Copies of this chain bind each other. A is one copy, B any other.
Amino acid sequence: MPTTFPLDPRDPESAIAAAAKRCSNWGRWGADDVLGTLNFLTDDMRARAAALVRRGAAFPLAQSFDMNGPQRGWRRRTNPVHTMLDTGTDAERGTQGFPHGIGGADDVIFMPLQASTQWDGLGHIFDHGQAWNGRRAGDVVTSDGDLVTGIQTATGRISGRGVLLDVGRVLGVDGELPDGFAITAEHLAATIAAQGPTSTVGRGDLLLVRTGRLARARRDGWGEYAGGDSPGLSFTTADWLHSTEVAAVATDTWGFEVRPNEFENAFQPLHQVAIPHIGLFIGEMWDLDALAADCAADGVHEFFLSAEPLPVTGAVGAPVVPIAVK
């Protein structure tokens, strides 16, 4: 299938600038806006989404948070390190000093906020020193964190209608797209057509795009899952993402967009349009496989989805425990 418009692989700068101009939502929700595309998701939509629940089956979409994750240290992103402050062994041994036989266990974690299943916040990516809504990057995110669009401002806003586009299952082999497969608007349309009427995507939806990349990592080992080659959204989907007015979009990959990226000497060019210009919330490393199997089985690809980010004050991204209910 053709991509939406031709890309010159040698000129990411121009392509990004043009897409940013076409897709910009700056000022759309006022100068003080911190929510971007989450503005599309209204209470009415949330109420209709809840009405999609039939069986009450719940599908958690988070990967686990532990040392067995995909991180390999790039830019100091380690896997989560979980240690105990108190243990059952100590309690049983009687070393804790509590009265009347009570014992306890407690624990602590050290982790990059984007170590596992996560939302990118609006302060995560900048374009030429500019953040969402035209702010200067240095006015938004300092060493004190994101002073304006910290992820906690989004908490309470990301529950609504989820819709799964299982591109891996519709267009892949054995449910998986190959690494380097750039998912275009045409591929998304074909998936919607194949899946049927519960798959329509529109304003305020929380879109989940499954590539099968996590299924491959689960089978073959993490390998280059974090930062290596992967299927993902084509740069050319920026316009589609903008025009559909989805509230957020998440995938089962490390980096959301196709890797290698579609330009020579480029790094995550779709992020550069989607986050600072569209104001789009992007989810990464979601585990969509069990949900996808259920959707394939019953033919229903829409559901109530709650995916509220951990409200770490000033964070530019956050762990999330998405739950889909059908």
Contact = CB atoms under 8 A, between A and B. Distances in A.
The A interface is mostly helix, strand or loop, or mixed, namely mixed
A84 B141 contact: yes
A60 B53 CA distance: 20
Given A112-B85, A143-B90, A321-B308, A99 B12 contact: yes
Nearest to A124: B105
A304 interface: yes
B141 A58 contact: no
A86 B143 contact: yes
26 contacts: A50-B56, A51-B53, A60-B308, A62-B311, A67-B73, A76-B85, A82-B145, A82-B312, A84-B142, A85-B112, A87-B90, A88-B131, A88-B137, A88-B142, A89-B95, A91-B126, A91-B137, A92-B138, A93-B138, A100-B266, A100-B272, A103-B126, A104-B125, A109-B111, A110-B110, A159-B325
Interface of A: 12-13, 16, 42-51, 53-60, 62-68, 73, 75-95, 98-114, 123-129, 131, 136-146, 152, 155-157, 159, 263, 265-269, 271-272, 304, 306, 308-317, 319-321, 323, 325
